[in-house]
Amino acid sequence: MNVDLKTDLFGIILKSPLILGSGPLSYNAEGMISGYKAGAGAVVTKTIRNRAAINPYPHMAISGRNTMINAEKWSDISAEMWVEQEIPKAKEAGVVVIASIGHTPGEVMNWAAAVDRAGADMIELVSYRQEMIVDMIRIARELTAKPVIAKLSPNWHDPVTTAQAALDQGADGVTAMDSVGPVLRIDIRSGRPLLGSEKGHGWLTGSAIKPIILRYVAEIADQTDKPVIGIGGVVTAEDVVEMLMAGAAAVGLCTAAILKGVAYLTRLNREIKKLLVELKYESPAAVCGAALPNLYKQEVLDRFTFSFNEKICTECMACVKVCPYQARSLSVGGGEKKMELDEKLCRYCGLCASVCPTDALSLEGTSPPAGTAPPSPPAGTTHSPGTLRPHRNNINGGIKRNVQ
């Protein structure tokens, strides 16, 4: 099967669905060119404002696996430099450039036409304040014919309604979403915050925020046909596919590329291709929104059954240990493994199957969810066509097929 990663975004053909999001890696043309060469389909500039940012020290720290906090502001180089030097230089090198402008209507007025003239292919508008974004879109719409994208924040009280309002004002699509915060981390040796910002506040990005972002991407994609760029917590190829399934037309990432180095994008494109072959999708566009018809309208009140494949059970006992009700036991002896479930104690919460690292224990559904392309079961497993594989893969993707 031939998988093509090319992705159409507002009529612009990207070589990959991956977009290097606004952040420290796109600090100038040089950073953007590196990101593009490594495999990004497009690169978003660090956010351009009237004045260059002065950041507190320190302003970035790791906070758990593939997760960061940061108090980095917008671009620390001037808007003039971006339009005179950096955007033209990135364009000359062939980069598909998305110019990020923040954070007020006045700044859009000042810079939207200028980044357009400098050669930006698209313009992304970002604001800390929900009430400003719609005005920013309206102004940009008058100043440029290039695609205009509203970047949404999970910290606003109603980003879903705001997405629609921005689209109604002429936005061509939305980016969902920005970092989550404010948040706080403390160094217990010094008793001080990890970041040097006011009150030590930072913003959370990377793996920890993925479920928050996915929920918004799905909700927004469900209400519009306009493209949604899903960004937040994407690390692995499985994360990319999950974001596409939730309705993203293209997938951004920032933290993973910072923590793993920008060359990671090359590997990630390779892994996405491999995974799409395995899942039998011929392109990212074919995956886009595949999960949306499966989002339950009502709670599922039919119990599932379990499937156990002793051949791939490693006897790790994770499923036994994790059961809060002591409903599960595994006995091993005489060359046999016996998985037992006390149905009176079991609440069918599903946790035991979700922690199984090999899929030896899985949930059986009654039929494959409509609209998805269930992957074929691995050779030698007992998964029936009714097994809830797509769902399970999403849960366990980061564990079993971790590309880290």
Ligand X SMILES: Cc1cc2nc3c(=O)[nH]c(=O)nc-3n(C[C@H](O)[C@H](O)[C@H](O)COP(=O)(O)O)c2cc1C
Q: Which does 84 bind (CB under 5 to 8 A by kind): ligand SF4, ligand X, none?
A: none
Least distance from ligand SF4 to the Cβ atom of residue 278, Å:
21
Task: Report d(CA 330, CA 310) in Å as an integer.
Answer: 10
The amino acid present at 110, given as its one-letter code, is N
Q: Residue 395 interacts with ligand SF4 (CB under 6 A)?
A: no
What CA–CA distances, in Å, run from 172 to 91, 148, 231? Answer: 22, 5, 17
Nearer to ligand SF4, 285 or 318 (CB): 318
- The reply to whether 327 sits near ligand SF4 by the rule CB under 6 A is yes
Cβ(345)–Cβ(320) under 8 Å? Answer: no
Q: What's the token pair of residue 80?
A: 């003039």
Contacts to ligand SF4 from residues 347-366, by CB under 6 A: 347-352, 356, 358, 360-361
Q: Which is nearer to ligand X, 126 or 246 (CB)?
A: 126
Closest CA to 177 of 197, 156, 148, 194: 156
The alpha carbons of the chain give a radius of gyration, in whole angstroms, of: 23
Closest contact distance (angstroms) between CB of 333 and ligand SF4 is 14
Report d(CA 6, CA 283) in Å as an integer.
7
- Indicate the residue among 207 and 358 with the shorter CB distance to ligand SF4: 358
- Minimum CB separation from ligand SF4 for residue 378, in Å? 14
Q: Check residue 331 for interaction with ligand SF4 (CB under 6 A).
A: no
Identity of the residue, 73 or 391, whose beta carbon is nearer to ligand X in the bound complex:
73
CA dihedral 272, 274, 279, 285 (to 10 degrees): 40
Among 3, 143, 258, 319, contact with ligand SF4 (rule: CB under 6 A): 319
- Tell me which residues touch ligand X (CB under 6 A): 21-24, 46-47, 60, 68, 70, 72, 74, 100, 126, 151, 178-179, 205-206, 209, 231-234, 253-256
Q: Which does 21 bind (CB under 5 to 8 A by kind): ligand X, ligand SF4, none?
A: ligand X
Under rule CB under 6 A, how many of the chain's residues touch ligand SF4? Answer: 24
Instruction: Look at phi and psi of residue 366 and say left if phi exceeds 0, alpha if psi is from -120 to 50, else beta.
Output: alpha
Order of all β-strands in the sheet with 60-62: 60-62, 67-70, 202-206, 180-183
**CB 1 to ligand X: min, Å:** 29
- Burial (Cβ within 10 Å: 0-12, 13-18, ≥19) of residue 108: buried
CB of 355 to ligand X, least distance (A): 24
Four-point Cα dihedral 118, 119, 124, 125, nearest 10: 20
Among ligand X, ligand SF4, none, what does residue 348 contact (CB within 5–8 Å per kind)?
ligand SF4
Q: From the list ligand X, ligand SF4, none, which binds 349 (C-beta under 5 to 8 Å, kind-based)?
A: ligand SF4
Interacting residues toward ligand SF4 by CB under 6 A: 313-319, 323, 325, 327-328, 330, 341, 346-352, 356, 358, 360-361
